[in-house]
Structure 1
Amino acid sequence: MKMPGHLHLRDFFVVLPDTAEGEAAAGHLRSAAPDSPDAPDAFETLFHPSGRPWILARLLVRNLVQVTRGDDALVLIGPNKIPAATLDAVLGPACDTPDLHRRLTALPGLSHVVSRMGDETCVRGTASGHRRVYHTEHTGGRVASDRPAALAHLIGADLDDGALALRLLDFVPHPLRERPLWQGVREIDPAYALLLRDGGRTHSVRRWWLPPEPRLTAAQGAPLVAAALAASVAAHLHGRTRVSGELSGGMDSTTVTFLAQQAGAQDVTLLTVAARDDRSEDQLWAERGVLAAREAAEAEGGSRKIEHRIVPAEDAPLFYADLAGTGGELLDEPFPVAPARARAAMLLGRAADTGSEYHLTGYGGDELFNGLASACQDLLPAKPLKAWNRMSALRHQSGWPLLPTLRGMLFPPAFGKWLATSLVAAATADARTPQVSWGMRQAMRPWLTERAKELIREEFRRAAQSARPIAPRPGRHMDIDTVRLGARYFQSMEDLGAGLGLPVAAPLFDDRVIEAVLAVRVEDRVVPWRYKPLLVEAMRDVVPAHLLARTTKDDMSADDVQGLREHAPEIRDLWTGSLLAERGLIDAGQLRRLADDPFSPVLQQYPIDATVSCEAWLRTAQDAWSNTPVNSEANQ
Structure 2
Amino acid sequence: MRVFWGRRGGEVVSSNELGLVRTFTGANLDTASLPLSLVTPRLPWALENVTHWEGIEAVPSDSTLTVLQDHRIDVTRRWLPSGGNRSLGEGVRGLRQALERAIDARVERSTAPIAADLSGGLDSGVMAFLAERRGSGPLNTVHLSPNDAGNDDVEWSQLLRARLPHAEHHTLTQREAGSWFADPPTDWADPGSEPLPVLRNAHSLARIGQLLEGRGVELYLNGGGGDELFRPSATYVLALARKYPVRARRVLRELRARGRWSRQEVRRARLPHSSDWLSQQARQLQHADDSTGLQAAWDLTVSMPPWSTSEARGRVAEVLRAKATVDREQTWIADFERMRLISAAGVATRAMARVLAPYGVSVESPYLDDDVIEAALAVDPLEYARAEGYKPLLAGAAKGIVPDALLERRSKGDYASEYYRGLRAHRSSIERWVLESPMSRLELLEGKRFQAFLEQIHPSATSFRHLDATFSAARWLSAAERETG
Which structure is higher in helix share?
2
- Given the alignment of the two structures, is residue 505 of structure 1 paired with residue 364 of structure 2, yes or no? yes
Greater radius of gyration (CA): 1
Match of 2:13 among 140, 143, 164: 143
Match of residue 211 from structure 2? 350
What is the correspondence of 1:80-95 to structure 2 with a 5 Å cutoff? none
Residue type matched to 1:236 in 2? Answer: R
- 1:496–1:183 CA distance, 2 compared to 1 (3 A): same
Match of residue 564 from structure 1? 423
- Given the alignment of the two structures, is residue 161 of structure 1 paired with residue 34 of structure 2, yes or no? no
TM-score (norm: length of structure 2): 0.92
- Given the alignment of the two structures, is residue 375 of structure 1 paired with residue 236 of structure 2, yes or no? yes
What is the correspondence of 1:19-30 to structure 2 with a 5 Å cutoff? none
Cα distance in 2 for residues equivalent to 1:492 and 1:254: 22
* Segment drifting more, 486-495 vs 285-294: 285-294
Cα distance in 1 for residues equivalent to 2:207 and 2:223: 18
Cα distance in 2 for residues equivalent to 1:537 and 1:502: 31
Match of residue 34 from structure 1? none
SS in 1 for 2:482: coil
* Segment drifting more, 454-463 vs 276-285: 276-285
Residue type matched to 1:363 in 2? Answer: G
- Given the alignment of the two structures, is residue 189 of structure 1 paired with residue 50 of structure 2, yes or no? no
SS in 2 for 1:567: helix
Residue type matched to 1:247 in 2? Answer: L
SS in 2 for 1:276: coil
Alignment gaps of 5+ in structure 2:
none
Residue type matched to 2:414 in 1? Answer: D
Match of 2:308 among 430, 448, 458: 448
Cα distance in 2 for residues equivalent to 1:463 and 1:494: 31
* Segment drifting more, 551-560 vs 318-327: 318-327
Alignment gaps of 5+ in structure 1:
1-130, 295-304, 627-636
Cα distance in 2 for residues equivalent to 1:549 and 1:537: 11
Cα distance in 2 for residues equivalent to 1:282 and 1:574: 32
- In the comparison of the two structures, how many residue pairs are matched? 480
What is the correspondence of 1:103-142 to structure 2 with a 5 Å cutoff? 131-142=1-12
SS in 2 for 1:443: coil
Cα distance in 1 for residues equivalent to 2:399 and 2:15: 41
8 A contact 2:118–2:157 mirrored in 1: yes
8 A contact 1:168–1:610 mirrored in 2: yes
Match of residue 74 from structure 2? 204
Using the TM superposition, give the Cα deviation of residue 483 of structure 1 relative to its aligned residue in structure 2, in angstroms.
Answer: 0.3
What's the C-alpha RMSD, in Å, of the aligned pairs? Answer: 2.4
Cα distance in 2 for residues equivalent to 1:624 and 1:527: 52
- 1:281–1:399 CA distance, 2 compared to 1 (3 A): same
- 1:354–1:605 CA distance, 2 compared to 1 (3 A): closer
- Given the alignment of the two structures, is residue 261 of structure 1 paired with residue 132 of structure 2, yes or no? yes
TM-score (norm: length of structure 1): 0.71
Any idea what the Cα deviations from partners look like across 1:36-90, whole Å, max 9, x if unmatched?
Answer: xxxxxxxxxxxxxxxxxxxxxxxxxxxxxxxxxxxxxxxxxxxxxxxxxxxxxxx
- 1:174–1:449 CA distance, 2 compared to 1 (3 A): same
Residue type matched to 1:232 in 2? Answer: A
Which structure is higher in strand share?
1
- Given the alignment of the two structures, is residue 619 of structure 1 paired with residue 478 of structure 2, yes or no? yes
Cα distance in 2 for residues equivalent to 1:602 and 1:270: 29
Match of 1:520 among 363, 379, 383: 379
Cα distance in 2 for residues equivalent to 1:267 and 1:175: 45
SS in 2 for 1:623: helix
Runs of 4+ in 1 over 6 A off after TM superposition: 600-603
Any idea what the Cα deviations from partners look like across 1:213-265, whole Å, max 9, x if unmatched?
Answer: 21111101111111111111111222325111211010011100111022224
Match of residue 320 from structure 1? 181
Cα distance in 2 for residues equivalent to 1:437 and 1:611: 24
Cα distance in 1 for residues equivalent to 2:310 and 2:242: 43
Using the TM superposition, give the Cα deviation of residue 448 of structure 1 relative to its aligned residue in structure 2, in angstroms.
Answer: 0.9
Residue type matched to 1:249 in 2? Answer: G
Match of residue 337 from structure 2? 478
- 1:361–1:440 CA distance, 2 compared to 1 (3 A): closer
What is the correspondence of 1:454-603 to structure 2 with a 5 Å cutoff? 454-465=314-325, 467-469=326-328, 472-597=331-456, 599=458
Using the TM superposition, give the Cα deviation of residue 207 of structure 1 relative to its aligned residue in structure 2, in angstroms.
Answer: 3.4
- Given the alignment of the two structures, is residue 240 of structure 1 paired with residue 99 of structure 2, yes or no? no
Cα distance in 1 for residues equivalent to 2:20 and 2:125: 37
Match of residue 201 from structure 2? 340
Any idea what the Cα deviations from partners look like across 1:507-562, whole Å, max 9, x if unmatched?
Answer: 11111000100111122222334211100011113223222222221021011122
Using the TM superposition, give the Cα deviation of residue 385 of structure 1 relative to its aligned residue in structure 2, in angstroms.
Answer: 3.2
Higher relative contact order (CA 8 A, sep 6+): 2
